[in-house]
Amino acid sequence: MADSSENFALALAKRLRAKESTIGVVGLGYVGLPICLAAVHSGLNVIGFDIDPMKPQFIGKGESYLQHIPGKSVKAAVETGRFSATNDFTRLSEPDAILVCVPTPLDAHLEPDLSFIEMTCEAIAKQLRRGQLIVLESTTYPGTTAEVMVPILEKSGLVCDKDFTVAFSPEREDPGNMNFSTSTIPKVVGADTAEALEAAVALYGNFIGTVVPVTSARVAEAVKLTENIFRSVNIALVNELKVIFSAMNIDVWEVIDAAKTKPFGFMPFYPGPGLGGHCIPIDPFYLSWKAREFGVVTRFIELAGEINANMPRHVIDILALALDKSFRKGLNGSKILVLGVAYKKNVDDMRESPALRLIDLLEARGSIVEFYDPFVPVIPHTREHANLTGRKSVPWSATIGNGYDAVLIATDHDIVDYAALVESSALVVDSRNACRKAGVNSPKVTLA
């Protein structure tokens, strides 16, 4: 029985550094599965937990269900005998440290939906034992660890920092990025006691090259929001510049490429058809919501969100104008191929993909829409676009553009043959500058 945080937390840190502990990871998606694999590779014992029964089944067979994670990596981890997965949450008492990697979406009113965190903590509380470390990785507003997670865990009858302890470490996964992996991306870790922080640093130090400790969970929570708000605001800036420069007949991509030759004081961001992914379209609103509690108005953040949210409509307007100029034809009745429905190139990740919004907008204006995506053969169920569930990609062919009034490039996958696409198409509206990046220059292409 632990008498103090120093006794159990520091003892846990020692066991973690010696790789004598088991860790649990709740949520085996884009964040949780890579953490499991990195931890197993470092020599730790790992139990993965997920409410989706299919994920443990895939893992048990040594197979991957994420396109950017090779099946051989999962198989190798399972074959060590140190990695297993389950949807039996009664086993949450087994790990010495539990990492919570569950979604934190927004509700219909753009307010935080912490239901996944709350349900996970309720499940942990039922099995919580003395000496465990619980780390929240889900992106959220400052104060969530102390104000939401701890009270639920204490329903167990155990007391935080006396019987168990907590920390926050924001995920920094970037699916499809070949330059960085879970182990090579520095990991921020924050906790509200020195002992808890030491345990959390010891945990991540096993499989992360650089661990960055900060003085509290709130600081760590704020770090993640700052990173994503930085991107959101800068993307909004270049999206607005795109609209301004387009009206002046200036190519924003050429401007950015020239500006980034300056070796200091400039960082390139690129416009697009709208924001996608779980982080950038959502996380800034977590801080906006929390700021209202303190009487602070987040004008900059909300303006950036408004600009980025309007980009899909802007792209559709450019497409409509291009059809009118080229063929004197409107969107109503036009047959449109949307190229790419993943939220970013070279992955199958559909979270918050702007392509789904583009399809909805086109169909609302009477267009007949199909899509091609080499990474997404079928559109999965999404909360915002349930009507598109089950739509299937058309097959690729060298004449894929034939039969369509226009092709709208929403995602710039590298493996697409853009020369063949443009050659076979009557009109290509390119929201990613994909054609020119591929060396394809044609009067058929309109930038959007």
Q: What is the DSSP string of 239-305?
A: HHHHHHHHHTT--HHHHHHHHTTSSSS-------SS--SSSTTTHHHHHHHHHHHTT---HHHHHHH
CATH number assigned to the domain covering 216-301:
1.10.1040
CA–CA separation, 60 vs 71, rounded Å? 11
- Check: CB of residue 192 under 8 Å from CB of residue 200: no
What's the pLDDT tens digit per position in 372-395?
A: 999 999 999 988 899 999 999 999
pLDDT at 143 over 60: yes
Q: Which of 20, 85, 78 is nearest to 50 (CA)?
A: 85
Looking at 175-184, 308-317, 349-358, 363-372, which range is the least confident one? 175-184
Predicted confidence at residue 6, as pLDDT, reads 52
Predicted confidence at residue 2, as pLDDT, reads 43
* Per-domain residue ranges of the chain: 5-214, 216-301, 310-448
Average pLDDT rounded to a whole number, residues 305-324: 96
What's the pLDDT tens digit per position in 207-245?
A: 999 999 999 999 999 999 999 999 999 999 999 999 999
Mean residue pLDDT of the chain comes to: 94
CATH number assigned to the domain covering 310-448:
3.40.50.720
Q: Calculate what percentage of the chain has a pLDDT beyond 90.
A: 91
pLDDT at 189 over 60: yes
* Domain 5-214 top-level CATH class: alpha beta
What's the pLDDT tens digit per position in 99-141?
A: 999 999 988 788 899 999 999 999 999 999 999 999 999 999 9
What's the pLDDT tens digit per position in 263-301?
A: 999 999 999 999 887 777 888 889 999 999 999 999 999
CA–CA separation, 336 vs 181, rounded Å? 37
What's the pLDDT tens digit per position in 13-71?
A: 999 999 999 999 999 999 999 999 999 999 999 999 999 999 999 999 999 999 889 99
List 101, 160, 279, 435, catalytic entry = 279
Q: Calculate what percentage of the chain has a pLDDT beyond 70.
A: 99
**For residue 128, what are the contacts with CB-CB under 8 A and spacing of at least 6?**
92, 93, 134, 153, 156, 158, 164
Average pLDDT rounded to a whole number, residues 330-346: 96
Domains 5-214 and 310-448 are alike in CATH topology = yes
Annotated catalytic, 279? yes
Beta bridge partners of 337: 370, 407
Q: Whole-model pTM?
A: 0.90
Predicted confidence at residue 147, as pLDDT, reads 97
- Check: CB of residue 280 under 8 Å from CB of residue 231: yes
Predicted confidence at residue 18, as pLDDT, reads 93
